[in-house]
């Protein structure tokens, strides 16, 4: 039988609520449940230390540093010591839970020693282990050339290009070691133009004023085909003014624009029907005050054949690797602005050619319209803009 008592009243006449009911209810909750995660009653995470390289490992690639991390506490000391040498420098994380060593070397034994404490300050189990890096290969993969060059100011269409001195077997491993950092958010993608050439371009033209840094941390990376990465490479460049050129083969003009405004129209003569200037986005990428041009250099007529030429022409700006230039040709001034008589280049007058040569930036887009023959990836040293964006993205080894 359950009996109840009426509430007792104090001297003031107010009802006393029995505190025992609240206490019993709280005890019932705590007694019937385990500790609630995140509450003061939660069990602490057990303390542990771990190194990124397993104990006793052999043939370790020196491409990545040693990383020591702590769970359930903090690191108090770390040394990574190569045999017969001083310990490596290292960088601790501000949280005290991660430490990263300086770069490793080939064919070296390292000893990793680390200590730490748990969240209550009690010492935990330390690390004391060794590993050995792989022997230095006889041949390494090196960067043969870069574009743009370090410190260069370029136009809004300039892609990044890294050319290696040998074919890359493991494209993904190498691509993971290359980073592009921009001063403003820029969507872009890598694309392997060949086994020797890795490019990167933005989805749309660069924003003027963008600062770009490229880091190729190739040292020690297993690049495939028996090659390991050699020296690291880093370079930076700046995107300059927004300058664009539009060549219309039917209107026989080159229209120059800057910051969205047309600044000048140049009469021009483009490729005759049998040698048409190709349509599509070209990129200005080389300048010559005087350039020797031979028809056979681009697959045109050889010596003794009709149409053969061998000339030195001034103020030549290369816009593709298929023999296409914007250059001065005083012999075609009467046809410039009226008809197309060249072997595929855009001919302009001496005055206009000098002006264009001084005005154009390396990396400015030169879009040719009106031609029935399109520019293709096979035609250009800088053919990135001939590839549709989604197809370009798929050219990344990490896509």
Say which of 191, 252, 343, 345 is annotated catalytic: 345
Neighbours of 100 (CB within 10 A): 18
Give the fold, CATH level 3, of 243-383: L,D-transpeptidase catalytic domain-like (2.40.440)
Provide the 8-state DSSP code for 138: S
pLDDT range class, residue 309, cuts 50, 70, 90 = confident
Per-residue confidence at 36, pLDDT binned at 50, 70, 90?
low
288-291: list long-range contacts, CB under 8 Å, 24+ apart. 288/315, 288/316, 288/317, 288/318, 289/314, 289/315, 289/357, 290/314, 290/316, 291/316, 291/325, 291/327
Q: Is domain 140-240 in CATH 3.40.50.150, yes or no?
A: no
Residues of the chain with CATH 2.40.440.10: 243-383
pLDDT band (50, 70, 90) for residue 380 = low
- CATH classification number, 48-132, choose in 2.60.40.3780, 2.40.10.10, 1.10.10.10, 3.40.50.1110: 2.60.40.3780
| pLDDT-derived band at 16, boundaries 50, 70, 90 | very low
Strand partners, 222: 228
Q: Does 345 participate in catalysis according to the annotation?
A: yes
CB atoms inside a 10 Å sphere around CB 346? 31
Given 191, 252, 327, 343, which residue is catalytic? 327
pLDDT tens-digit series, residues 243-281: 999 999 999 999 999 999 999 999 999 999 999 999 999
- Those residues whose C-beta lies under 8 Å from the C-beta of residue 287, and which sit 6 or more positions away, are 316, 317, 318, 357, 360, 362
pTM assigned to the model: 0.81
Rounded to an integer, the average pLDDT of 121-139 is: 95
Q: Which of 93-107, 183-197, 214-228, 286-300 has the lowest average pLDDT?
A: 286-300
pLDDT band at 15 (very low <50, low <70, confident <90, very high): very low
> What local confidence, expressed as pLDDT, does residue 162 receive?
98
Domain with CATH 2.60.40.3710 in the chain: 140-240
The overall average pLDDT reported for the chain is 89
Whole-number Å distance between alpha carbons of 111 and 123: 21
């Amino acid at each position: 039988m359950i009996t109840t008592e009426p509430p007792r009243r104090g001297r003031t006449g107010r009802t006393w609520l029995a505190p025992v009911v609240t206490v019993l209810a709280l005890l019932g909750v705590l007694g019937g449940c385990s500790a609630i995660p995140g509450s003061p009653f939660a069990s602490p995470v057990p303390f542990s230390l771990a190194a990124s390289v397993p104990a006793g490992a052999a043939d370790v690639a020196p491409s990545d540093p040693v990383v020591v991390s702590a769970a359930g506490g903090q690191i108090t000391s770390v040394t990574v010591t190569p045999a017969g040498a001083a310990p490596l420098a290292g960088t601790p994380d501000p949280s005290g839970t991660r430490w990263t060593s300086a770069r490793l070397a080939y064919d070296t034994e390292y000893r990793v020693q680390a200590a730490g404490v748990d969240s209550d300050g009690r010492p935990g189990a330390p690390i004391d282990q060794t590993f050995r890096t792989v022997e230095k290969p006889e041949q390494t993969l090196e960067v043969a050339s870069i574009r743009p060059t370090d410190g260069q100011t370029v136009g809004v269409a300039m892609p990044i290009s890294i050319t290696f001195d040998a074919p890359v077997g493991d494209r993904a491993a190498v691509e993971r070691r290359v980073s592009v950092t921009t001063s403003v958010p820029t969507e872009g993608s890598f694309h392997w133009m060949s086994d020797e050439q890795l490019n990167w371009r933005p989805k749309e033209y660069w924003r003027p004023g963008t600062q770009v840094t490229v880091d190729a941390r190739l040292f020690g990376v297993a690049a495939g085909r028996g090659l390991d990465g050699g020296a690291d490479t880093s370079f930076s460049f700046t995107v300059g003014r927004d300058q664009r050129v539009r060549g219309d083969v039917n209107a026989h003009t080159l229209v120059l624009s800057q910051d969205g405004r047309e600044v000048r129209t140049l009469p021009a003569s483009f490729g005759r029907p049998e040698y048409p200037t190709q349509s599509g986005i070209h990129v200005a990428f080389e300048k010559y005050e005087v350039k020797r041009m031979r028809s056979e250099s681009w697959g045109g007529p050889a010596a003794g054949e009709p149409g053969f030429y061998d000339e030195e022409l001034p103020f030549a700006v290369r816009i593709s690797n298929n023999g296409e230039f914007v250059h001065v040709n005083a012999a075609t001034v009467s046809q410039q602005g009226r008809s197309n008589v060249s072997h595929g280049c855009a001919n302009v007058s001496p005055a206009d050619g000098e002006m264009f040569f001084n005005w154009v930036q390396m990396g400015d887009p030169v879009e040719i319209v009106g031609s029935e023959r399109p520019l293709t990836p096979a035609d250009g040293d800088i053919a990135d803009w001939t590839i549709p964006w989604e197809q370009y993205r798929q050219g990344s080894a990490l896509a």
